[in-house]
Structure 1
Amino acid sequence: MKRSLTEQTLALAGVFQAATLVQQIAHTGRCADASFQASARSLFQTSPESTLAVYGGLEDLREGLTTLASVFSDQSKPQDLEVLKYALSLIHLEGKLNRHEEMMNILGNRIEQARHTADHFGYLHSNLIGNLASVYSDTISTLQPRIQVSGDPGILQVDENAARVRAMLLAGIRSAVLWRQTGGRRWQLVLTRRKIITTARALAEQANHSLHN
Structure 2
Amino acid sequence: MSSTRQDQEQALALAGVFQAAALVHQLANKGMVGQDSFETSIASILVTDPENTLAVYGGSAHGLNLGIRTLRGFVNKDNDTSTHVLRYAMSILYLEKRLRKDNQMLNAIGQRLEQVKMQSHHFSNTHENVIASIAGLYQDTISTFSFRIQVQGEPNILRQNSNAEKVRALLFAGIRSAILWHQLGGRRWKLLLGRKKILRALDEATRL
TM range (shorter): over 0.9
The Cα of 1:194 is off from its aligned counterpart by 2.1
Closer, same or farther in 2 for the Cα pair 1:82/1:75, shift >3 Å? farther
The corresponding residue for 2:151 is 149
Residue 188 of structure 2 aligns to a residue whose secondary structure is coil
Q: Does 1:59 align with 2:81?
A: no
8 Å CA contact 2:42–2:173 kept in 1: the answer is: yes
Distance 2:95 2:197 in 1: 25
Kindly provide the amino acid, as one letter, of the partner of residue 8 in structure 2.
T
- Counting only pairs closer than 5 Å after superposition, residues 1-213 of structure 1 correspond to structure 2 as 4-56=6-58, 57-77=60-80, 80-204=82-206, 206=207
Task: Give per-residue Cα distances to partners, 1:65-111, cap 9 Å, x unaligned.
Answer: 1111012212523x621111111110111001011000001111111
Q: Structure 1: how far apart are the matches of 2:56 and 2:145? A: 25
Q: For 1:51 and 1:104, how far apart are their aligned partners in 2?
A: 20
Deviates more, 1:160-169 or 1:120-129: 120-129
- Name the SS of the counterpart of 2:28 in structure 1: helix
Task: Please state how far the C-alpha of 1:201 moved relative to its aligned partner.
Answer: 4.1
Deviating beyond 3 angstroms after TM superposition, the runs of 4 or more aligned structure 1 residues are 201-204
Q: Which amino acid in 2 is paired with 1:154?
A: N
Q: Contact 1:7 / 1:182 at 8 angstroms: preserved in 2? A: yes
CA distance in 2, matches of 1:178, 1:65: 16
Q: CA deviation at 1:11?
A: 0.4
The structure-2 alpha-carbon separation of the partners of 1:106 and 1:51, relative to structure 1 and needing over 3 Å to count, comes to same
Q: How far apart, in 2, do the equivalents of 1:23 and 1:167 lie?
A: 13
1: CA distance, partners of 2:63 / 2:122: 21
Task: Give unmatched runs, 5+ long, in structure 1.
Answer: 208-213
1:17-48 Cα distance to aligned partner (Å, 9 max, x none): 11111010000010011111111111111111
Aligned-partner Cα distance in 2 for 1:117–1:166: 18
Partner amino acid, structure 1, of 2:79: S
1:149 is displaced (CA, Å) by 0.4
Checking the alignment, whether the CA contact within 8 Å between 1:66 and 1:200 is kept in structure 2 is no
Q: Read off the aligned partner of 1:63 and give its amino acid letter.
A: L
Question: What is the count of residue pairs matched by the alignment?
Answer: 205
8 Å contact kept, 1:23–1:82: yes
Q: Which runs of 5+ in 2 are unaligned?
A: none
Residues in 2 aligned to 1:194 and 1:153: alpha-carbon distance in whole angstroms:
38
> 1:211 maps to which residue?
none
Q: Partners of 1:30 and 1:2 in 2: how far apart?
A: 39
Q: Which amino acid aligns with 2:53?
A: T
